[in-house]
Amino acid sequence: MSKKFKITICSGTACYVLGGAQLMMLEDLMPAEFRDQVEIVGSACLQACRQGGSGQPPFVKINDYLMESASIAKIVDYLRKH
């Protein structure tokens, strides 16, 4: 069965230095209620910083939604709302 959310974390240079490093621990810090619902993968680079107007790194993709200035709190918040 496929999971409800697929979270893709960008590990490109810009994302990594602007806070993406913390996101690498997302899997460990994910609240128990969501553990079964999310699949976490990495991306060598989502290319979001190259497209103008996408916002600030770090970027994370949750299914098709591109989140800018992502943080663990912001991701969990998003999961709660959806």
Interface with other proteins by CB under 8 A: which residues? 9-14, 16-18, 20-21, 24-25, 27, 40-45, 47, 49-50, 57
Q: Which is nearer to other proteins, 12 or 79 (CB)?
A: 12
What are residue 9's DSSP bridge partners? 42, 60
Q: What residue type is assigned to position 80 of the chain?
A: R
Q: What residue type is assigned to position 43 of the chain?
A: S
Q: Which residues contact 31 (CB under 8 A, 6 or more apart)?
A: 76
Q: Which is nearer to other proteins, 4 or 50 (CB)?
A: 50
Q: How far is the CB of 56 from other proteins (least distance, A)?
A: 9
